[in-house]
Chains A and B, each alone.
Chain A
């Protein structure tokens, strides 16, 4: 890569790393290494985010993530976590149907406590 391409990739860097080629070259190489590594990490992070969202969605209905996924596997429903997290956010009635199917397939949730409804302090008119 020649100097012009390096300095173009170095836009937004701090201090001399965006202007001076010797420093910019090092920082750009590091940035490209990070992007290589993070393209692989992004897949892991996204899956973890989806699992958190599905967990939150199912716990609103009294089922935790582990039992929910076990029930789906028993029923041979092959929706992946990405789609399940999107459904839990935007299609609440479809998600409730999925939770009910999973609960009937694997009723293992004796100890899960439904979250108590907390009243917002600022909304109370005194």
Chain B
């Protein structure tokens, strides 16, 4: 008698439990098992390196501004330039991920922007300073490849957590650099270099870190649980998609635009604060630059738990309430972030300010994590484009906010912060308009139409011609795996109706 083992002999074995797309259904932080957790560690470390490089200049500005003879206007413009490059780079990165895979896309960008960081060492004027900050800022587009990669490696129940931890620990770089660069500069100066040379040498550290992380991605990384795009495309397991179709389905999805706006007012606010908060504390409370820098660093360092916390919260709410839970939590947390931002601009004492800032940082960073709990479900075919639009929207928000409230002296910094909080609350309201026929929106339940299923939603991105070629297979698997977004109550109803035996024909 033969006992069927039930194990498919052709299935590769994974260290973590996986779903039908071979995406991990568990997130084990302290494992480095290939391919899932290894991709996680590669992506967050490389993103961290890019953040360190992009914000390496602000803590050393007191020396750089004297060396390059910068004015306050030059510094402000360079700050805006550092976050504006990534607006289109993020969108381009999203498309590149859809077409070439996150491994090649992110490693290419990181190695192409590393020269900008190396050239910072030889900057000699306000113009060259602005240019190096502008081109270094392009590397922040690796955020999109990080989120795309995590969404490709981790399944619906844990995708929010994976995205949140990878994004949060990468953003950490913005805080860590405020501590790392002054220390590196100090060591080099103590060895014997003059101030104006020491800061130049110091920039080699983030540049080399960035380059090495890109090599690690190329050598150890992998696009999908089953292998790399190129290999899978050649063996016929993955269809090569067309740029125009991918792009079209991304930009015509209104949910992507709404998320781009709301992300502009959580992540955009975070970037703005990264650029202005040290000066704010220095001027308003007459602190030493060193102390103001430590406070500024603590805002960015909160990312170690707050953004992952947002992702975890999103997954928890989805287990019980599905996509509607994710949307409501995002709206609540981001609006509260806006409220605390208004309060931050109003408080007048140092200790109250620091306390409010920390609470504010937790809410605004959690909102970022919650946003990327929703993004993976907006589109399957154009996941990269949607991620890129949302990520780019974050940078647009940073540029706009700094231009309106923090350039020149129209508003005092504290008024600017309060007004920014009001704008956060207003720009979060559009979340009410997001509606998924199969899951519902914030105010409406799922469509009572029998045809409103996950398959219908994700299949609408493919033409019948393309379906005929079998290009929609992965979307079909994803639709099946995303049924958990109905929440627990509705899920059990669906299961009981599915259990009814088919009538005899």
Are A and B associated in one complex? no
| Chain B contacts to A: CB under 8 angstroms | none
| Chain A contacts to B: CB under 8 angstroms | none
